[in-house]
Structure 1
Amino acid sequence: MSVTGVWIVGAVPDQEVRNLLSASVQNSSPAPEHRDALGELAWWRRKAPASMFTTSTCSPGDASADEDALRLSAFFDTCHDDSDSGERLREAVMDRFPPDVGEGLFVATARKASPFSALAYALGPDATLQLPGWFGDFLLDAGQVRTQLPSAEETLTLTGATRRDAIERIRAWMTGLGDDPAHAADELLDGPLRVLRHAARTGQGAAGQVRWY
């Protein structure tokens, strides 16, 4: 059975965010923490400079995942809150996203792979931790959007060889772990930042969600 990874980043009216955060605090229990997040982050920092994929000699552009890539993917998956309260909050946020993709909504999908995981692999651990929230999941009010926007801009505004390397890594993830060789890698860098800038400009909050379908 095939699965599809999704990363959604959308603007949400500021008051709606405040209401959701207030209700979440009142009605949820603390999310379980990864059993060894600090240890896995330290391991990732050691491994990050090297490629975790082997390029195919038979099919140019294809890659196969090494054991390190599988371990990193598993770590990303365990960093997300899959509790009932977490899922209820995600569904409530989904209902408040803009109806159409545009300045206020970015949606990335990939067959068999998580778009956010591909981006994190491309950026590396320290840059990934500069993004809002925790590994792609976040819910920010308007003030928090304005505060965190500069870090997101510094992280995602890549140029020249740095951008080319990031795009190559995204494509390696999408072919080595997923089945999406034509994925729009540029949009993984540009789309979330477009939404955050729109939210800051219009005085809105913003949310990000990593999901599987």
Structure 2
Amino acid sequence: MGFTSAWSISCHEDSVIADLAPRTAAAIEADRTCPRARRRWTAWQRAPLPDHRTWWTCTPAEDEAIRSFQDLTRPGRHVDDLCAFPFVDDVWERQPDQELMFVSVHSKAYPVSALFHAVGPERAALLPGWCGNFLLTAAETRRALPAVEQALGFGPAERAQEQVWLDPEPRESVLDGPLRVWRAAVQAGLGLCGLAFHVY
């Protein structure tokens, strides 16, 4: 069965972050503390996966690790349930400036999975929140920027080696958009809301 998924990062005033916090923070924390998710995270941290272009020739052990990683990085159940209509529309309506948003939508693929596989477990561990989901005040966003730049900042040689399996994106890549929006939030003195979810 097909599916469409999205990853959204939007900049907001702290008052909006505070309004979103009761439900959003609880959903993120429930997904983060799920025992199965923690086991999958630990397994990926111990043994990064081979290049995705070789997955069709993988061993049974590698195949099991790939499935575990895919389960880890697809939308978590609690955040996914939270993002049902009209919640996400409400979040997006609170930030009408497209330059202060990053949205990546794909059929039969997960943007966070592609990004995490591209950057690897050490860099992914530098990102706040859980598997693409986070809710940060302006101060928290500013404090996190150096780690996010370390995780997502690529030199020319590194960038040439990074490959994601997503179809070409109409606006910007998962390798570019998150850091752009993070820097824009810090410059504007805003917080951030990151949500990974199924559209259908």
Q: Decide: shared fold, TM above 0.5.
A: yes
Larger Rg: 1
Give the C-alpha shift of residue 20 in structure 1: 2.5
User: Are positions 1:164 and 2:163 aligned together?
Assistant: no
SS in 2 for 1:8: strand
Residue by residue over 1:19-51, the C-alpha shift from the partner in whole angstroms, topping out at 9 and shown as x without a partner, is: 332x449998x7253223343223213331632
Match of 1:74 among 57, 71, 76: 71
Count of aligned residue pairs for this structure pair: 192
Give the C-alpha shift of residue 111 in structure 1: 1.3
Match of 1:94 among 83, 92, 98: 92
> Using a 3 Å threshold, how does the CA distance of structure 1 residues 109 and 25 change in structure 2: closer, same or farther?
closer
Alignment of 1:2-151 (within 5 A): 2-21=2-21, 23-24=22-23, 31=30, 33-48=33-48, 50-54=50-54, 66-77=63-74, 79=76, 81-82=78-79, 92-98=90-96, 100-102=97-99, 104-151=100-147
More helix, by proportion = 2
> Using a 3 Å threshold, how does the CA distance of structure 1 residues 195 and 83 change in structure 2: closer, same or farther?
closer
Gaps of 5+ in 1: 57-64, 175-179
> Using a 3 Å threshold, how does the CA distance of structure 1 residues 27 and 118 change in structure 2: closer, same or farther?
closer
Q: Distance in 2 between matches of 1:39 and 1:26?
A: 21
Give the C-alpha shift of residue 80 in structure 1: 5.0
Q: CA RMSD in A?
A: 3.2
When normalised by structure 2's length, the TM-score is: 0.79
Q: Which residue of 2 aligns with 1:59?
A: none
> Using a 3 Å threshold, how does the CA distance of structure 1 residues 43 and 31 change in structure 2: closer, same or farther?
closer
Q: Distance in 1 between matches of 2:105 and 2:75?
A: 19
When normalised by structure 1's length, the TM-score is: 0.75
